[in-house]
Amino acid sequence: MAYWVYILASAPGGTLYVGVTNDLVRRTYEHREGLVEGFTRKYGVKRLVYFEAHDSIIAAIQREKNIKHWPREWKIDLIVRGNPDWDDLYEEIIR
């Protein structure tokens, strides 16, 4: 089973959210449709801009915690390295 660390954005350079899940498609869908109460719904954070797989939940949670504690610029650099145009990667994961 894969575990995923992901970053959502409200827009290119906008508000960021870092999360972890064992089902990236389902969790991203929940955020996009506003089914998740809290931060992402309140601030319209729906665009999947980064994700990475991990073999264990422990590794994924640790990575999520590390990224959450990074300065904003480091998070932006991580996104831009793999997704310079801040494209919504949702279509890529549902194929």
The pLDDT of residue 50:
98
Identify the band that residue 88 occupies on the pLDDT scale cut at 50, 70 and 90. Answer: very high
Cβ neighbours, 10 Å, residue 61:
14
pTM recorded for the entire structure? 0.96
Cβ neighbours, 10 Å, residue 88:
16
Class of the CATH domain delimited by 3-93: alpha beta
Q: Is the pLDDT assigned to residue 1 strictly greater than 90?
A: no
Q: Is the pLDDT assigned to residue 95 strictly greater than 90?
A: no
The pLDDT of residue 16:
98
The helix (H) or strand (E) run that includes residue 82 is helix 72-82
What ranges do the domains of the chain cover? 3-93
Average pLDDT over residues 24-53: 96
